[in-house]
Amino acid sequence: MSTDLHDLSVAQLAAKLAAREVSSLELTQHFLARVDNHAGLGAFLATDREVSLAQARAADARLATGERTPLLGVPLAHKDIFVTRDFPTTAGSKMLENYRSPFDATVVARLGVHGGAGMVTLGKLNCDEFAMGSGNDNSAYQPVQNPWDITRVPGGSSGGSAAAVAARLVPAATGTDTGGSIRQPAALTGITGIKPTYGRCSRYGMVAFASSLDQAGPMARSALDCALLLSSMAGPDPDRDSTSLDLPALDYATDLIATGAQGTGVTPLKGLKIGLPTQFFGAGCSADVLKAVRGALAEFEKLGATLVDVSLPLTELSIPVYYVIAPAEASSNLSRFDGVRYGHRAATYSDLTDMYKKSRSEGFGDEVTRRIMIGTYVLSHGYYDAYYLKAQKIRRLIAEDFQKAFAQCDIIAGPVSPTVAWKIGEKGDDPVANYLADIYTLSSSLAGLPGMSVPAGSGEGGMPVGLQLIGNYFKEAQLLGAAHQFQLATDWHLRQPTGI
Ligand code: GLN
């Protein structure tokens, strides 16, 4: 039985391209047909067949010269928060409807076919408006369906990226994570995603939400595929993002590729200490998720790792702290959308103030408006000390707690999300219900630590469950290595939604 092209991983597709068994043009046509056939999922906000085919021809031309770089000619798609020259960029908002950037984001350029790693862009992926949300139901365009059960959310805010990879409409995608938006949708759709250390990937050309938290990362089906993408995405960008880390880009994939399948009884993770924060395993997490996570951890023990208890006492405070700091930064970042320099402008208005008011009221959705108001409030004279400054102080304490925990372990593990994917509309208009779902991802974001989600089992309704692995600063390679060993020993990342 022949395997369909869309069942292959990034690494397998790259090998086929390098052996000239398939051309980038053929691959691109194949995946674009799938994108068209599954338009009902709502994963894509923009495609442009001619642009993608032209990029594929450019990749094929590079292959024809004998160039053999690991991603050359492999299709991908970008979360619609990255600006792109060749496609429109909306950030999931009516504010930026029909906006087209004159340049590519650094991450897009590094992965792309114009002088980058040579990946072919299939289009732009749906997301919550300005990356604010946990279910992709805050997109101004359409909600995204979870391919495992189309009545459920795919998670958010990178929900289009997650759904597209899980449905095999594209072998890999970019995402961004401010408070969990790579890890949580990866968990809810059964794919693998990594949020690197803050600053590892350039933020240049990422529509800004909360600048001290925003971080780009890859989403794919396996740790190896994520490693392949991250190797091209990461690296300093000193002229364009002053917060990008001054550390050389690493090759995250070669060591993983060198590790073949292990026989039973082999313990490649011997010596690795995995810390389990008591606060991540309490009553707040549903029983099905806990069961799957514990099952995955038992597998890590079989691979030689030891489990130790650690404590992250301020975990609960990460929700109020994040929901003060992120809106504060958002209120500042979103002030540039005024209908003059950028974005939607109201058709009629009486004067300048009225124009700002109408343009912003029409352009921004409810959640974005709510956050601008909260952010403006917590930064205002008289409230700054009580809310914003206090939150910043607790943020520091949260980061310090992680360092205390890392004195006892190498990696911290737990659930990504307290439940499996919920039904579209289930949380209604209650913003707090969405905020609470971020409990396990926010603290590491506030600390700027790398974290990943690894498919680890299934829960209620057969829905995927993700295991979260959090590393210390700059330890992406260690996280990817541990996840890769787990994926050599298990097949959760290979399971697919049926009927897609
Ligand atoms: N769910 C969180 C929020 O709504 C995180 C979003 C993100 O990481 N972009 O802010």
DSSP 289-309: HHHHHHHHHHHHHHTT-EEEE
177 lines ligand 1 (CB under 6 A): yes
CA 78–ligand 1 middle distance (angstroms): 17
Residue of the nearest CA to atom 4 in ligand 1? 133
Q: Is residue 396 part of a domain?
A: no
Contact in structure between 315 and 280 (CB atoms under 8 Å): yes
Q: Can you read off the two tokens belonging to residue 342?
A: 């950028």
CA 131–ligand 1 middle distance (angstroms): 6
| Beta bridge pairs of residue 220 | 172, 192
pTM over 0.95: yes
Report the distance separating Cα 336 and Cα 275, nearest Å: 42
Atom of ligand 1 at shortest range from CA of 176: 9
Mutate to test the pocket of ligand 1, among 82, 128, 324, 439 (most ligand atoms within 8 A of CB): 128
Report, as an integer, the average pLDDT of 449-467: 98
What is the reported pLDDT for 342? Answer: 82
pLDDT digits (tens, 9 = 90+) for 72-114: 999 999 999 999 999 999 999 999 999 999 999 999 999 999 9
Report the distance separating Cα 220 and Cα 226, nearest Å: 6
Q: Is residue 331 part of a domain?
A: no
What is the reported pLDDT for 262? Answer: 64
Q: Evaluate if residue 406 carries a pLDDT over 80.
A: yes
Q: Evaluate if residue 359 carries a pLDDT over 60.
A: yes
| Beta bridge pairs of residue 277 | 310
Mutate to test the pocket of ligand 1, among 178, 209, 453 (most ligand atoms within 8 A of CB): 178
Contact in structure between 234 and 201 (CB atoms under 8 Å): yes
What is the reported pLDDT for 333? Answer: 97
* Degrees, nearest 5: CA angle 135-217-85: 90
Q: Find the CATH number of the domain harbouring 66.
A: 3.90.1300.10
What is the reported pLDDT for 341? Answer: 84
Strands (E), 59-178: 75-79, 120-125, 172-177
Q: Is residue 108 part of a domain?
A: yes
131 lines ligand 1 (CB under 6 A): yes
CA 67–ligand 1 middle distance (angstroms): 39
Phi/psi of residue 453, nearest 5 degrees: -120, 130
Atom of ligand 1 at shortest range from CA of 181: 8
Q: Evaluate if residue 280 carries a pLDDT over 90.
A: yes
The length of the chain in residues reads 500
Provide the sign of the torsion angle of the four alpha carbons 276, 281, 286, 292, taken in this order. positive
For 332, counting Cβ atoms within 10 Å of its Cβ (0-12 exposed, 13-18 middle, 19+ buried), the class is middle
What is the reported pLDDT for 248? Answer: 87
Q: Evaluate if residue 42 carries a pLDDT over 60.
A: yes
Report the distance separating Cα 242 and Cα 53, nearest Å: 35
Confidence band for 2, pLDDT divided at 50, 70 and 90? low
pLDDT digits (tens, 9 = 90+) for 232-268: 999 999 999 999 999 988 899 998 888 766 666 789 9
Q: Is residue 463 part of a domain?
A: no
Q: What is the dihedral of CA 269, 271, 277, 280, to 10 degrees?
A: 10
- Helices first, then strands: H and E counts in the chain: 16, 11
Report the distance separating Cα 209 and Cα 81, nearest Å: 10
Q: Evaluate if residue 187 carries a pLDDT over 60.
A: yes
CA 184–ligand 1 middle distance (angstroms): 9
Strands (E), 167-269: 172-177, 192-195, 215-220
Report, as an integer, the average pLDDT of 145-152: 98
Cα–chain center distance at 218: 6
What is the reported pLDDT for 259? Answer: 79
DSSP 278: G
Mutate to test the pocket of ligand 1, among 125, 134, 174, 215 (most ligand atoms within 8 A of CB): 134
367 lines ligand 1 (CB under 6 A): no
pLDDT digits (tens, 9 = 90+) for 222-231: 999 999 999 9
Report, as an integer, the average pLDDT of 374-393: 96
CA 153–ligand 1 middle distance (angstroms): 15
Report the distance separating Cα 405 and Cα 385, nearest Å: 29
Q: Is residue 461 part of a domain?
A: no
DSSP-based three-state secondary structure for 392: helix
Q: Tell me the Cα Rg of the chain.
A: 21
Q: Is residue 37 part of a domain?
A: yes
Residues spanned by the domain of 218: 5-258
Mean pLDDT of the chain: 96
Report the distance separating Cα 459 and Cα 298, nearest Å: 17
Would you give the end-to-end CA distance of the chain in angstroms? 18
Atom of ligand 1 at shortest range from CA of 156: 1
417 lines ligand 1 (CB under 6 A): no
The closest alpha carbon to 335, from 356, 312, 319, belongs to 356
Q: How far is CA 451 from CA 88, 118, 296, 371, 416, in A?
A: 30, 27, 16, 25, 10
137 lines ligand 1 (CB under 6 A): no
What is the reported pLDDT for 3? Answer: 73
Report the distance separating Cα 48 and Cα 51, nearest Å: 5
Q: Is residue 32 part of a domain?
A: yes
Q: What's the domain count of the chain?
A: 1
Report, as an integer, the average pLDDT of 271-278: 98
Q: Evaluate if residue 1 carries a pLDDT over 90.
A: no
Residue of the nearest CA to atom 10 in ligand 1? 132
Q: Can you read off the two tokens belonging to residue 77?
A: 């798609």
181 tagged catalytic:
yes
pLDDT digits (tens, 9 = 90+) for 162-179: 999 999 999 999 999 999
Q: Is residue 111 part of a domain?
A: yes
